[in-house]
């Protein structure tokens, strides 16, 4: 495994992914009954922004740093009021132990979800890379709600679905080392997962370089068995170059009721704050929408 998320932690793609994830967790907690969170590619759980990896790329400076410290970035929407959802998410990051005197640590998906979970909720975290899995276990060794599995996350879904809670969210966030071939693996995993657990909520993060690379996946989603599929995207560069990460997206299968309303203001505000050479573009629409949406 060559990909290490520590180099990219807190970048603009993480901002989209984790703000959407935060909205999903809040939606799951709208009901009093417990829910399960399942992460197929969990990583190490937390990343030092003053560490060697993040220091080499500095990607967080054009991501989470712009939202937390807009005064340091004169072209990133300074003075713009943050929507309540975005404010709650950013406050949760600043409350992380170690961030008392500024942004030093960036929590990955597992830690962000664990910090937001209730006592009745649970998390199943899958990570294949031995070193990352060890760090993940160390991070959560004291938390009885969190279970770490050093195994292939796609394969683990067969054993983990449906969860005992009967309610929950699956996050599929692979490194896309296989590039376009990764989408076929995701489609196969989603098809099997929906057959085992048709009412589950599934969130898939994807990179955007060339639009043509993503379109077949979106067409597949339009014909999958999910009752509704919401798409959220943020582009900081035009989607016409395979040489860099131009944007990213999240698709949410069986999206919770009114999730689109919860996300719209955040995307509208984030786009100008994350703009680089030209204005960032965002999209929020339904690939599949049923009559109950």
User: pLDDT at position 271, please?
Assistant: 96
Sheet with 36-39: strands ordered across = 146-149, 122-126, 36-39, 168-172, 201-208, 247-253, 229-235, 281-288
User: pLDDT at position 293, please?
Assistant: 42
- Residue 8 and residue 54: Cα distance in Å, rounded? 7
> How many angstroms from the chain centroid is the CA of residue 99?
21
Q: Which residues have a catalytic role annotated?
A: 173
Mean pLDDT score of the chain, rounded to an integer? 94
Q: Where are the alpha helices (DSSP H) in the chain?
A: 12-28, 52-57, 64-68, 84-94, 109-116, 130-140, 153-160, 181-196, 211-222, 259-274
User: pLDDT at position 72, please?
Assistant: 67
User: pLDDT at position 1, please?
Assistant: 39
Residue 157 tokens read as 């879904």
User: pLDDT at position 79, please?
Assistant: 59
| Chain segment 54-82, per-residue pLDDT in tens | 888 899 999 999 999 887 666 655 557 89
Give burial (CB, 10 Å; 0-12/13-18/19+) of 239.
middle
Residue 60's contacts (CB-CB under 8 Å, 6 or more residues apart) are 9, 10, 11, 49, 54, 103, 106
| Chain segment 135-151, per-residue pLDDT in tens | 999 999 999 999 999 99
Average pLDDT of 113-126?
98
**pTM for the structure as a whole:** 0.95
First-to-final CA distance of the chain:
40
Summary count for the chain: helices (H), strands (E): 10, 10
Residue 276's contacts (CB-CB under 8 Å, 6 or more residues apart) are 62, 236, 237
Average pLDDT of 201-226?
97
User: pLDDT at position 55, please?
Assistant: 86
Residue 87 tokens read as 């404010």
Residue 77 tokens read as 């929407």
Helix (H, G, I), strand (E, B) or coil at 249: strand
């Amino acid at each position: 495994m060559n990909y290490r998320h520590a180099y990219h932690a807190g970048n603009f793609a993480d901002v989209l992914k984790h703000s959407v994830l935060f909205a999903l967790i809040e939606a799951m907690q709208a009901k009093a009954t417990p829910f399960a969170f399942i992460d197929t590619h969990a990583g190490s759980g937390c990343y030092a922004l003053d560490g060697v990896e993040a220091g080499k790329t500095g990607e967080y400076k054009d991501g989470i740093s712009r939202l937390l410290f807009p005064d340091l970035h004169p072209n990133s929407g300074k003075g713009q009021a943050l929507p309540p959802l975005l404010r709650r998410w950013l406050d949760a990051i600043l409350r992380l132990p170690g961030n008392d005197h500024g942004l030093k640590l960036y929590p990955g998906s597992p830690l962000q979800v664990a910090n937001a979970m209730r006592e009745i909720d649970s998390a199943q975290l899958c990570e294949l890379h031995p070193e990352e899995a060890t760090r993940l276990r160390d991070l959560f060794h004291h938390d009885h709600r969190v279970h770490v599995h050093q195994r292939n996350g796609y394969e683990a879904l067969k054993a983990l679905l449906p969860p005992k809670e009967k309610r929950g969210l699956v996050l599929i966030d692979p490194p896309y080392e296989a590039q376009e071939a990764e989408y076929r693996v995701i489609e196969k995993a989603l098809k099997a997962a929906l057959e085992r657990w048709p009412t589950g909520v599934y969130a898939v993060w994807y990179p955007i370089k060339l639009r043509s690379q993503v379109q077949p996946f979106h067409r597949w989603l339009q014909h999958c068995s999910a009752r509704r599929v919401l798409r959220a995207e943020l582009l900081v560069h035009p989607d016409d170059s395979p040489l860099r990460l131009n944007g990213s997206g999240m698709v949410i299968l069986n999206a919770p009721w009114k999730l689109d309303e919860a996300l719209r203001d955040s995307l509208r505000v984030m786009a100008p704050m994350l703009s680089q050479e030209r204005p960032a573009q965002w999209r929020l629409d339904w690939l599949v929408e049923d009559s109950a949406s």
